[in-house]
Amino acid sequence: MKSIEGSLDATGHAFGIVVSRFNSFITERLLASAVDALRRTGAKDKDIHIVRVPGAFEIPAAAQALAQTRKVDAIVCLGCLLRGETSNYEHIAEEVTRGVGQSAQATGVPHSWGVLTCDNLEQAIDRAGLKSGNKGFEAALAAVEMASVKKALSTQHSAFSHSREVASPRLSVASKGKVLKSRTKQKHRK
């Protein structure tokens, strides 16, 4: 049984970070930790591309545009949504989640999730490094691992495709032989 697993080595990979400016008190902490995680795993500053957007709602469009450039191997999505008195929170959270997933599927570039969805500011502060670790750091590690997994899968796919290409000319030659024999028999019958 074969198993493919990514590594936490960012060396040679390029990363995009799409970060919301809304609730910047929180998102700047997420961003600093995401960049720290990428550096600690071997990414160079020249391979980290940061895109700032107004709010969380704009994250999916920017992430997809960045992925379509093919200049990054994975994208870290960072934002902070705080529940308010209206239902706007639920609508935005749902659309951002859906949009990030669709962007990853449409482009084939892994996207990691570092968008906080919190009931209050205290929860957001805890998840941005106070008590519960830093979700920006965790999202960056997920991006590093997924870039590695994608590379391993594409290498395996290339090897598989190459072995099929090598086998297929043999089948073609064998098929041509049958066709030639069949045509020769037809000529002799006439």
What pLDDT digit, counting tens, does each position of 178-188 carry?
444 444 455 55
Own/partner pairs for 9-13, CB < 8 Å, 24+ apart? 9/41, 9/42, 9/144, 9/148, 10/38, 10/41, 10/42, 10/43, 10/47, 10/144, 10/147, 11/41, 11/42, 11/43, 12/42, 13/43, 13/47, 13/73, 13/74, 13/144, 13/147, 13/148, 13/151
pLDDT score at 147: 98
Is it true that domain 15-152 has CATH number 3.90.700.10? no
Q: Answer yes or no: is pLDDT of 54 > 80.
A: yes
Q: Looking at per-residue confidence, does 78 or 130 come out higher?
A: 78
Question: For residue 130, what is the enclosing H or E element?
Answer: none
| 55 band by pLDDT with thresholds 50, 70 and 90 | very high
Cα 183 to Cα 14, 26, 86: the distances in Å are 56, 76, 78
| 172 band by pLDDT with thresholds 50, 70 and 90 | very low
What are the φ and ψ backbone dihedral angles of 119, each rounded to 5 degrees? -75, -30
User: For the whole model, what pTM was predicted?
Assistant: 0.81
Q: Tokens 């669709």, residue?
A: 102
**Domain residue limits, the chain:** 15-152
Helices (H), the chain: 24-40, 59-68, 88-107, 121-127, 135-189
Tokens of 18: 């799409």
